[in-house]
Amino acid sequence: MAEFDVDLFVIGGGSGGVRAARIAAGHGARVMIAEEYRMGGTCVIRGCVPKKLMVYASHVHHEIEDAAGFGWSIPAATFDWPTLIANKDKEIARLEAAYTANVEKSGARIVKSRAVFEDPHTLRLASGEAVRAKYVLIATGGAPNHGVAIPGIEHVISSNEVFHLSALPRRIVIQGGGYIALEFACIFAGLGSDVTLIYRRDNVLRGFDEDVRAHVRAEMEKDGITILTGCTVDSIEKHGKEFTSHMSNGSSLASDQVMFAIGRHPNVANLGLEKAGVAINPGNGGIAVNGFSRTSVENIYAIGDVTHRINLTPVAIREGHAFADTVFGGRPVMVDYAEIPTAVFCQPEVGTVGLTEAQARAQFSHVDIYKADFRPIKATMSGRDTRVLMKLLVDALTDRVVGCHIVGDGAAEMVQLVAIAVKMKATKADFDATMALHPTAAEELVTMRTPSARHVREAAE
């Protein structure tokens, strides 16, 4: 009898776990992957993908309004929430089937079950079956975090439930100031809801460049979203179908839904980690790993949001691939976490890569800042009151571009390409030598010639 039933057991059928399973199977490993909910994980089932579909739906409202400036007369339009949700669900089901088929084609076996550790090599399935694995990969992702318990917390929805509401809320209160909160604030506003965003800090998008934070907030407020900063929801009362949110500043708000999007925590509960001896990182609550994603136990690895390193789907995918190549491909691969591009699909969209201005000024003694703030060409005809922000940060001693920040339509698409140049350590001279493509918003990235500001750090005495 073989000592192990499989070479690799993957806990979690999200993007990272699926990539690891497929690549490991391609290297000849016997692979089993357990998923207790739906194949595809958070990103595919109740995260990035359905969110982006709803972002597209919310954009239509602006397109209809803008049409008049271009000569189009469009009758009064109506929106049907159930149709959007049904079509979204249909597309997610298609993607889930594709994920399942791709895993099975690779030769890996899927078990639709929860799996928990009994010891470092033994997993117990919900059916009672025990599986012995030479290596185990934990890829269970994260889950919404509502924060401290407050009276009425049971009335709050998260980014899980928001995709399955039976009706579009006429009024919604959203607490949070990060990616998810801003994206859903703009989605609901675009679909016609009255939106109030509440955030405990002084401004939204903590950790982003300060100019980006200010620009996004101004644009969202111009679009009719109420943003209340420096306060929190302290309690929630339900009156029939209506909710009243009582605020820390003494005010109260009535709404049809209350959504909290204040962060996510690693999904580590009830996995039997203590039986396997897997250590938790005390600094972030995720599973502690080294540069190769190995945990405190030699044969157990962890990738993606469950490690709470950089919680982005492409990072989990890269980590899963690197793990499989390292353990089963005979080629040690360590993920490079520098210059990772990211986007916030609010309205207007945010795309960013590299350092913020504050980070650049802390890291380099001489920083040149190039900034353009302009009305996009489409708005000159549509009449929409909106502006685009573009910002480049340059290490003035080497001329290397160390950061790029864009707010405006297509920001994410632009930054994905700019990220290649930043990763290759392109200089401002390289940007300047690139011919502009006119008329585009992106041409501003290669036509900004004069720094809007220069920072020189004073030498310590």
pLDDT tens digits, one per residue of 411-446: 999 999 999 999 999 999 999 999 999 999 999 999
The whole-angstrom separation of Cα 186 and Cα 56 is 11
- Among 295, 303, 291, which Cα is nearest to 273's? 295
Q: What is the pTM of this model?
A: 0.95
Residues 6+ apart with CB under 8 A from 293: 301, 302, 303, 307, 319, 322, 323, 335
Six-digit token pair at 436? 């502009």
Active-site positions read 438
Amino acid 405: pLDDT = 98
Q: Which residues of the chain have pLDDT under 70?
A: 1-2, 459-461
Beta-carbon-side half-sphere exposure of residue 78 (alpha carbons within 13 Å)? 3
Are β-strands 142-144 and 171-175 bridged in parallel, bridged antiparallel, or unpaired?
unpaired
Alpha-carbon distances of 300 from 6, 120, 138, 273, 313, rounded to whole Å: 14, 7, 8, 10, 21
Residue 43 · residue 14 · CB < 8 Å = yes
What pLDDT score does 458 carry?
78
Q: What are phi and psi of 270, to 5 degrees?
A: 60, 35
By C-alpha distance, which of 125, 155, 154 is closest to 35?
A: 125
How confident is the model at residue 1, as a pLDDT? 43
Show Cβ contacts of residue 150 under 8 Å, excluding neighbours closer than 6 positions: 233, 234, 235, 236
**Residue 457 pLDDT:** 86
Query: What is the Cα 21 distance to its own chain's centre?
Result: 23
Beta strand residue intervals within 408-460, DSSP E = 453-456
439 contacts 358 by C-beta, under 8 angstroms: no
